Amino acid sequence: MNIETVEQLRELYGFPKGRAVDKQLSQLEKHSINFINHSPFVVISTFGNNGGVDVSPKGGTAGFVKVLNDKEILIPDSKGNNRIDGLVNIVETGQIGTLFFIPGVDETLRINGQASITADPELLASFCEDRNPPKTGIKIHIQEVFLHCAKAFMRSKLWSVDMQINRKDFPTIGQMINDQLGVVDKPESQQSMVQRYQADL
C-alpha cells in the first residue's frame, strides 16, 4: 500500500512533541554557532523552478562557514567542476536546506532558510587567504535551526574506524565513470586523482 496523504502518514507516526518540537529555533545561539565553528563539512539541498532537487557537499577547514550574525551565515562556493547546479537553483527559488557535520560527533545541525548568491568583495574577504578564493558565497537568511539527534549515526557507526572499507577494494571514480559512460580507455588511478585534486584545492 502506498502512502499518499499526510493523514495516512500521521496515522502511522503520530505527531512530534516535547523537545522534538521545542528545539526548533529561528536564529542562532551559542551552541549552534559553536557547532558551525567546529564543522568542516556541510551538505546543502536546493531545488529549481522545474522541481529538480540537488544535494551538494561543501568542505573546508573547521569553521569555513562564516557566521555573520544570529540570522545569517555565509558558505563559500569553493572551486569545483563549474556545474553550479545548486547556485542555479538558488537564483531560481532562493530556498536552501543544510546539514552540518563534525567528525566524531553523532549529532548534526540543520539550518533551513532563504538563500542568495553574493559576490560582495567585503563579504568574501574572509576567504582571501584560501589558495583558490571563492568567486561567490551562499548567504543564508535563517528561518529554522535545530540540532538533529544521533540515531542515524549510531546505527551506521559512521565514525567508527572498524566500519571503514579498504579503498583498494572499491572501484575508483575513474573506473566507475568510465563504466557508466561506456569508455574503454584506462581509467585514472586513485593516486593520480588524489594528487590532481590536492593540487587544485
Alpha helices in the chain (DSSP H): 6-13, 19-22, 30-38, 85-93, 121-124, 151-156, 173-181, 190-198
Give the residue extent of every domain in the chain: 6-156, 165-198
List C-alpha distances in Å: 129 to 30, 91, 146: 27, 27, 31
* The pLDDT of residue 189: 87
Confidence check: pLDDT of 194 > 90: no
Distance CA 103, CA 66 (A): 18
Task: Average the pLDDT over 151-168 and give the result.
Answer: 94
The CATH superfamily label for domain 6-156 reads Electron Transport, Fmn-binding Protein; Chain A (2.30.110.10)
* The pLDDT of residue 58: 96
Confidence check: pLDDT of 3 > 90: yes
* The pLDDT of residue 108: 98
> 162 has which bridge partners?
none
Rounded to the nearest 5°, which phi and psi values hold at 76?
A: -70, 140
Rounded to the nearest 5°, which phi and psi values hold at 141?
A: -90, 115
* The pLDDT of residue 22: 87
pLDDT band at 97 (very low <50, low <70, confident <90, very high): very high
* Per-residue pLDDT tens digits for 115-154: 999 999 999 998 877 788 899 999 999 999 999 999 999 9
